């Protein structure tokens, strides 16, 4: 028990010493569906990471956010570097009002009057670069990135799905500004502890941490 308290104190001090955290971590508990999406309530430019899961081959996770003025939209998907997830290659669709319709067939229906940017992942079998992420103390497969200014005002949607229909864990990253609200401090500490011990995963993982 004493060892756990010491570990918690060290982790807490380490997190607080990181300026504004690297990002705010969230962990999916209930499915982020079209009926119950993950709602990004603050600025889309503020950095956050959602540790989520496509629980089957046809699962589609949905996130929503508001664009009220021109904003830099930064969105990325990464996957923990586990042998069990080496073929998990999620795509992203960023849907906004008035955008052009994508050429690709989508496994979901866009709202009326909406188009979408499609951010593709690598093809199965292609080499995937990895990187070490100090916040979670893990290695990840790098993933596709969307990073540009958007101007279409209104409600936007971000869809994450696996065209290979394998399913698995992934991390949805939004925003580039390292801003952190103190009211989220406790939840961030708890979620960080869970992530560092692989408690957010739904598959076993034997990835190296260094």
Which residue ranges form the domains of the chain, and what is each CATH number?
Answer: 2-196 (2.60.120.380)
- The model's pTM is 0.86
Q: How confident is the model at residue 194, as a pLDDT?
A: 86
Measure the CA dihedral 138/78/199/206, to 10°. -50
In 10 A of CB 35, how many CB atoms?
7
Tens-digit pLDDT profile for residues 38-66: 999 999 999 999 999 999 889 999 999 99
Q: How far apart are CA 194 and CA 188, in angstroms?
A: 10
Looking only at the bridges linking them, the beta strands covering 71-80 and 138-141 are antiparallel
Distances (CA, A) of 147 to 18, 20, 53, 81: 24, 22, 23, 23
Q: How confident is the model at residue 1, as a pLDDT?
A: 54
For residue 19, is pLDDT > 70?
Answer: no
The pLDDT confidence band at residue 95, using thresholds 50, 70 and 90, is very high
Tens-digit pLDDT profile for residues 155-174: 999 999 999 998 999 999 99
Q: How far apart are CA 208 and CA 210, in angstroms?
A: 6
Distances (CA, A) of 175 to 22, 40, 80, 172, 182: 11, 11, 19, 10, 18
For residue 99, is pLDDT > 70?
Answer: yes
């Amino acid at each position: 028990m004493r060892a756990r308290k010491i570990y918690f104190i060290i982790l807490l001090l380490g997190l607080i010493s990181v300026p504004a955290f690297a990002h705010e971590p969230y962990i999916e508990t209930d499915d982020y569906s079209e009926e119950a999406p993950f709602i990004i309530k603050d600025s889309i430019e503020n950095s956050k990471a959602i540790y989520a899961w496509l629980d089957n081959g046809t699962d589609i996770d949905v996130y929503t956010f508001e664009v009220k003025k021109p904003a830099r939209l930064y969105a990325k998907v990464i996957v923990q570097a586990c042998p069990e997830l080496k073929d998990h290659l999620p795509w992203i669709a960023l849907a906004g009002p008035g955008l052009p319709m994508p050429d690709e067939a989508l496994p979901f229906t866009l709202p009326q009057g909406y188009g979408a940017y499609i951010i593709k992942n690598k093809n199965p079998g292609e080499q995937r670069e990895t990187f070490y992420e100090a916040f979670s103390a893990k290695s990840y497969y790098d993933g596709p990135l969307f990073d540009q200014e958007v101007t279409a005002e209104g409600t936007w949607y971000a869809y994450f799905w696996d065209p290979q229909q394998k399913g698995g864990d992934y991390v949805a990253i939004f925003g580039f500004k390292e801003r952190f609200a103190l009211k989220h401090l406790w939840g961030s500490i708890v979620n960080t502890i869970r992530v560092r011990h692989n408690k957010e995963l739904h598959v076993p993982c034997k990835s190296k941490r260094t």
